[in-house]
Amino acid sequence: MESLTTIDIGIQVEINNNNDLLIQIETLKNSYNTLIADYAKQVQIIEIKSNKIFKLEQPLANEKNKLESENKYLKEQWNEKYNT
């Protein structure tokens, strides 16, 4: 059996006999559109920051690979020279 989960997304709607239903629906649509727009902005910010992190990590990864190769070469040279 599936359990239902509720999540508060910050939209409140109150419909009663004194309010026009169409106005309430329009208000709900506007709130939803605002929520979606804010979410899209947050996703864009996260993508931009992820790209910046990737650009910073690439030179470090390249340098790490270079140092590992140099270390391997130096160990081989040491072993050849001192027969260990």
pLDDT digits (tens, 9 = 90+) for 7-64: 666 666 666 666 677 777 888 888 889 989 999 999 999 999 999 999 999 999 999 9
Render pLDDT for 64-83 as a digit per residue (tens, 0 to 9). 999 999 999 999 999 988 87
Nearest Cα neighbor of 61 from 73, 51, 53 is 53
53 membership: H or E segment, kind and range: helix 21-82
Q: Interior CA angle at 66 toward 62 and 72, to 5°?
A: 145
**Vertex 29: Cα angle to 28 and 34 (nearest 5):** 100
Write the CA distances from 62 to 41, 69, 84, integer angstroms.
32, 11, 30
pTM recorded for the entire structure: 0.50
